[in-house]
Amino acid sequence: MSDLSPATWVPAASCWVGLIPSGLRWLRVAQREHYLPGAVDRFAARWWLGVRPNLPLALVAVVATGLSWRYALVALATAAVGVAGPIGLSPRGRTSPLAWTRRSRSLAAGWVVLEAAVVAGGFALGRVAFVSAIGLVLAAPAMDLVSLVQEPVENRLASRYVAAAARRLGVVRPRIVAITGSYGKTSTKNYVAHLLEGSLRVVASPASFNNRAGLARAVNEHLVDGTEVFVAEMGTYGAGEIAELCSWCPPEIAVITAIGPVHLERFGTEDAILRAKSEITVGAAVVVLNTDDERLEGFVDALDAREPRPRVLRCSVEGAGGGVRLVEVPEGFELRIEGMAVGTVTLPPGVQPTNVACALGVAIELGVPIQALVARLENLPTVSHRLAVGTAPSGVVVIDDTFNSNPAGARAALEVLARVGSGARRVLVTPGMVELGPRQAEENRAFAKSSIGVATDLIIVARTNRRALREGRASQGSLCLATRDDAVRWVREHLHPGDAVLYENDLPDHYP
């Protein structure tokens, strides 16, 4: 039995109290990373090992936990670290609180049960303070373990919603357009829906509902009787996920917008990304590709070798030949279909013409008249926080590209920054790009370097990419601030009417 003297139960109870903020921290990380097993451990390593104030705290906690085998009171140090650290990762979150969904409640309950079992083991061993300290130190791995154990159960629970969605699709029988890509999925989906709305009854999956649960929910809640076309955005974090989506939501038309290093951290190589994304084309009658992307241009040969062979529609801005092309001309963009000019259009600021070309390809395949498409191109919808250009009450031009960031999109955003504003200053505010795996530092250095000559000032937010961005901007220097709110205050204090600011990416608050 344990010694329940104050020298034992006070440090043990302190560790139990420390589990509350620690559990909330790692539960938020799990939720932000879509409950992927292993994600919490990765982020725990980033916070404890990659942020300078936290590494000494981690060492204190580990050493104190070891010493508490003999000296129970030393576990008070472990408890203090569990309450305070990792410093910078708030239990409440800077930008969004933990959402208490059924999934998060289930994970939290499982984690509490596991930690309680660890504490019970401490009582059995007669080392309750020591074992309680271990439970606190291993709070992040414990969250991942519970997530891993619960994953099959969660998949089974989701299956009934997927089955209902499959039945609904079978009843309504819409023509299905499925869209994927490393970036540009949501924009292209919205463009497709807009172009079709004048001629067909269309429903598009809302927001970024692009995984198994989200897509099933989109079908079950939004697919109404009489829908002629359902536009489905499909995302993936690994091989086989899109194939599973297509097994119950089979596209007639499949679209791939781009292949790039987004999520390279998870996939390892861009070839692996292409293989995962290309699952969307299996069984499709028509495949629409952005062939300005070299990998997608190369993928055409693989499609041509298939039996049955799908119809492949090339869409581009830079390419030559047939398909759908938007060619930049002084008046805007000339639309060419199979080499024939059919009209000239002006696109809203910030719209990526390759995404528009892919959307046009879909609409043409579905039989929408060309002239109707040309007319609807004039008022394409913009996507919130994706290259949205506006003017603040102060007169400062603001480019909001904070939803996400990738190398191609970041370059396009800099091109917009170069064109707007009449003042002396053009400011780039960014935490850099994430989830680029081994290329992350290289891509951020290149991005910062390319901002020289465009941005008069570079404001680096947070720590994640600070070193790489500073190295890329070395010749002109930069300013480092802790949060985006700090950067916004700096902009308001230093910019004047006619100046311009680009907010490129908004780092999720579970990143250092």
pLDDT, mean of residues 190-208: 92
Structure letter (DSSP) for residue 502: E
Per residue in 372-392, pLDDT tens? 998 898 888 877 778 888 899
Give pLDDT, residue 92.
84
**3-state SS record for 366-380:** CCCCHHHHHHHHCCC
Strand runs (DSSP E) across 348-482, as ranges?
Answer: 388-391, 397-401, 426-430, 457-461, 479-481
Tell me if 193 sits within 8 A of 380, measured CB to CB: no
Residue spans in the chain of domains classed CATH 3.40.1190.10: 173-377
Question: Which fold would CATH assign to domain 173-377?
Answer: UDP-N-acetylmuramoyl-L-alanine:D-glutamate ligase (3.40.1190)
Residue spans in the chain of domains classed CATH 3.90.190.20: 388-504
What sign results for the dihedral spanned by CA atoms 449, 294, 177, 221?
A: negative
Report d(CA 482, CA 298) in Å as an integer.
43
Tell me if 276 sits within 8 A of 190, measured CB to CB: no
Q: Is 261 helix (H, G, I), strand (E, B) or coil?
A: coil
Backbone angles phi, psi at 93, to 5 degrees: 90, 145
Per residue in 406-437, pLDDT tens? 888 898 899 999 988 888 899 999 999 988 88
Per residue in 221-254, pLDDT tens? 999 999 999 999 999 888 899 999 999 999 999 9
- State the pTM of this model: 0.86
Question: Which fold would CATH assign to domain 388-504?
Answer: Protein-Tyrosine Phosphatase; Chain A (3.90.190)
Give pLDDT, residue 1.
44
Paired residues of 399 in beta bridges: 389, 502
Give pLDDT, residue 124.
86
Report d(CA 96, CA 90) in Å as an integer.
11
How many CA atoms are closer than 13 Å to the CA of 1, on its beta-carbon side?
3
Residues contacting residue 506 through CB under 8 Å, at least 6 positions apart: 95, 385, 402, 403, 431, 484
Give pLDDT, residue 3.
60
For 313-327, give one letter per residue: b (16+ CB within 10 A) or e.
bbbbbebeeebbbbb
Spatial CA neighbour of 437 closest among 320, 316, 265 = 265
Question: Hey, what amino acid is at 383?
Answer: V
- Assess whether pLDDT exceeds 80 at residue 312: yes
